[in-house]
Structure 1
Amino acid sequence: MENTSFGFRSELTLDPFVIPPGGKYPIFFLGLAIYCFAIFCNLILLTLIILKRNLHKPMYFILFSLPLNDLIGMTAMLPKVISDVVTETNKVYYPLCVLQAFLLHMYGGGILFILAAMSFDRYAAICMPLRYSSVMTPRLVFFLISLVWGLDFVLIVSLFSLQTRLPRCNSLIMNVFCDNPSLLKLTCENTTVNNIVGLFTTAVMQAISLSIQAFSYVKILITCVVTRRSKAKTKAVNTCLAQLLILIIFEIVATFTILSHRFKYVSADLQKIMGMLIFIVPPLLNPIVYGLYTSEIRKTLLSVLKKKKISV
Structure 2
Amino acid sequence: MTNLSYVPLEQPIVFTLQGFVVATDEGYPLFVVSLLVYMVMIIGNGTVFMVIVADKKLHKPMYVMVCNLAVCDLLGGTAVMTRLMSDFLTGDKTISYVAAYSQAFTVHTYGSAAPTILSAMAYDRYIAICEPLRYHTIMTAWRLAGLCILAWFIAIGLVAVLFMLNIGTPLCGTLILHVYCSNRSILSLACVPTPINNIYGLCMTWFLSTGSFLVIAFSYIKILIACLVKREKNSKSKAIQTCATHLAVYVLFEFATVLIIVTQRFEEVSPNAKKFCAILFVIIPPAVNPIIYGIVTKEIRTSVFRLFKSPVLPKESKK
- TM-score normalized by the length of structure 2: 0.94
The yes-or-no answer on 1:162 pairing with 2:191 is no
Query: Which AA in structure 1 matches 2:312?
Result: I
Aligned residues: 311
Deviation, 1:305, is 2.9
Contact 2:112 2:155 (8 Å CA) reproduced: yes
Please, which of 235, 238, 248 is the counterpart of residue 235 of structure 1? Answer: 238
- The residue correspondences of 1:297-308 to structure 2 (distance < 5 A) are 297-306=300-309, 308=310
Q: How far 1:70 sits from its partner (Å)? A: 0.6
Deviation at 1:59, TM superposition (A): 1.3
Task: Confirm or deny that 1:245 pairs with 2:248.
Answer: yes
Give 3-state SS (helix, strand or coil) of 1:279's partner: coil
1:286 to 284, 289, 309: 289
- Is 1:258 matched up with 2:261? yes
* Inter-partner Cα distance in structure 1 for 2:211 and 2:159: 15
1:86 lines up with 2:83 in the alignment: no
Quote the Cα distance in structure 2 between the aligned partners of 1:293 and 1:237: 11
Could you tell me which amino acid in structure 1 is paired with residue 262 of structure 2? L
The alpha carbon displacement at 1:309 in A equals 5.4
Match for residue 11 of structure 2 among 5, 8, 12:
8
Q: CA deviation at 1:236?
A: 1.4
Rounded Cα–Cα distance in structure 1 between residues aligned with 2:103 and 2:269: 25
Give me the whole-angstrom Cα distance separating, in 2, the residues matched to 1:311 and 1:121.
41
Match of 1:26 among 26, 29, 36: 29
Amino acid at match of 2:165: L
Correspondence for 1:186: 189
Q: Does 1:200 align with 2:164?
A: no
% identity of equivalent residues: 37
Distance in 2 separating the partners of 1:111 and 1:85: 28
Task: Give the distance between the partners of 1:141 and 1:8, measured in 2 at CA.
Answer: 43
Query: How much has 1:21 moved relative to structure 2?
Result: 4.7
Give distance in 2, aligned partners of 1:80 and 1:211.
35
CA distance in 2, matches of 1:190, 1:134: 52
1:123 aligned onto 2:126: yes
**Is structure 2 residue 274 aligned with structure 1 residue 271?**
yes
Query: Where does residue 153 of structure 2 map in the other structure?
Result: 150
**Which one of the candidate residues 173, 180, 187 is aligned to 1:177?**
180
Matches within 5 A, 1:47-62: 47-62=50-65
CA distance in structure 1 between the partners assigned to 2:69 and 2:313 by the alignment: 31
Aligned to 1:211: 214
User: Mapping of 1:63-74 within 5 angstroms?
Assistant: 63-74=66-77
User: Could you report, residue by residue, the CA deviation over 1:260-283 in whole angstroms, capped at 9, with x for unpaired residues?
Assistant: 110001010111111011101111
Q: Which residue identity does 1:110 align to in structure 2?
A: A
Query: Whole-Å Cα distance in 2 between the matches of residues 293 and 311 of structure 1?
Result: 31
Provide the C-alpha distance between the structure 1 equivalents of 2:267 and 2:313, rounded to a whole number of angstroms: 59
Q: Are residues 1:37 and 2:27 paired?
A: no
Could you tell me which residue of structure 2 aligns to residue 310 of structure 1?
312
The residue type equivalent to 1:179 in the other structure is: S
| Paired letter, 1:229 | E
- Alignment partners' CA distance in 1, 2:227 and 2:40: 37
* 1:8 and 1:95 in contact (8 A); partners too: no
Quickly say closer, same or farther: Cα 1:21–1:14, change in 2 above 3 A: closer
Asked if the contact 2:51–2:307 (Cα under 8 Å) also holds between the matched residues in 1, the reply is no
Post-superposition offset of 1:311: 5.2
1:65-113 C-alpha deviation (Å, 9 max, x unpaired)? 1000011101101111121112111101111101100000000011100
Shift of the alpha carbon at 1:160? 1.0
Question: Whole-Å Cα distance in 1 between the matches of residues 57 and 313 of structure 2?
Answer: 22
Q: Does 1:222 align with 2:225?
A: yes
The structure with the larger Rg is 2
Give the distance between the partners of 1:121 and 1:206, measured in 2 at CA.
Answer: 19
Against the structure 1 CA distance between its residues 32 and 225, is the aligned structure 2 distance closer, same or farther, given a 3 Å change threshold?
same
Partner Cα distance (1:257, 1:6) in 2: 30
Q: Verify the 8 A CA contact 1:72 1:107 in the aligned structure 2.
A: yes
TM-score by length of 1: 0.96
Specify every segment of 5 or more residues in structure 1 that has no aligned partner in the other structure, as ranges.
none
